[in-house]
Chains A and B, each alone.
Chain A
Amino acid sequence: GESVGLHLPTLSVQEGDNSIINCAYSNSASDYFIWYKQESGKGPQFIIDIRSNMDKRQGQRVTVLLNKTVKHLSLQIAATQPGDSAVYFCAETPSSGSARQLTFGSGTQLTVLP
């Protein structure tokens, strides 16, 4: 079946450095991708999304890059702060299907070191 996965389950970065979290997907029909942040004990929060007709999208301190050729998605966080410590999920959905279901990766735990 289709899957969405992450390259690393954990990532540690120094405060102030940039973070890069990677995600691989296998469904070539995927046309929408989204990153969520989940802090301990809380529900996932939307961070940024991107459609398949784009290869880059920027938000506040975050950038998502999409490489459709190799089915790879990454989330870059600039000047990582202690408040960025959380689990980050990618999710994707194909261009059709009822209720636009999302398929989620298992998550990367980001730890920001002082």
Chain B
Amino acid sequence: DVKVTQSSRYLVKRTGEKVFLECVQDMDHENMFWYRQDPGLGLRLIYFSYDVKMKEKGDIPEGYSVSREKKERFSLILESASTNQTSMYLCASSLISEETQYFGPGTRLLVL
């Protein structure tokens, strides 16, 4: 079974803090994705990566950056957290040749 884990289930940060969200997958997937999920808006893609050190912007990259130094690990960074970044953050992974994405449990981030 694919396992995608995220470093924290719940996180509370203050405005202006730097926030790191980490995602690890154990199935040797090439693709990894970061989404945020907000009521009524569904899942929106922030960034994705199809290989180590490769990254591409999704639909809403502003205010975020990512890092993929190892194949199994994909980090989302909020350089200076703002209250409008309060959300549920979901990581997913998939094989390079397949469409099915497997999700982690999510990190619920509250920025005060």
Contact = CB atoms under 8 A, between A and B. Distances in A.
A62 to B, nearest CB: 15
Contacts of A101: 33, 45, 48, 58
A43 B2 CA distance: 13
Given A49-B100, A101-B45, A102-B101, A44 B90 contact: yes
Contact of B102 (A46, A104, A107): A46
A66 to B, nearest CB: 15
A100 interface: yes
A104 B36 CA distance: 12
B100 A46 contact: yes
Interface residues of B, number: 25
B94 A42 contact: no
B99 interface: yes
Contact of B106 (A34, A43, A105, A106): A43
Contacts, number: 51
B56 A98 contact: yes
Given A43-B105, A100-B31, A34 B40 contact: no
A100 B98 contact: yes
A111 B49 CA distance: 36
Contacts of B42: 89, 104-107
A70 interface: no
Given A43-B90, A106-B41, A100 B102 contact: no
A105 B44 CA distance: 10
Contacts of A76: none
Contacts of A74: none
Interface string A27-40: 00000101010000
A89 B42 CA distance: 8
Contacts of A36: 103
- The 10 tightest CB contacts between A and B, nearest first, are A43-B103, A106-B42, A104-B43, A100-B99, A99-B50, A99-B31, A32-B99, A44-B103, A104-B42, A43-B105
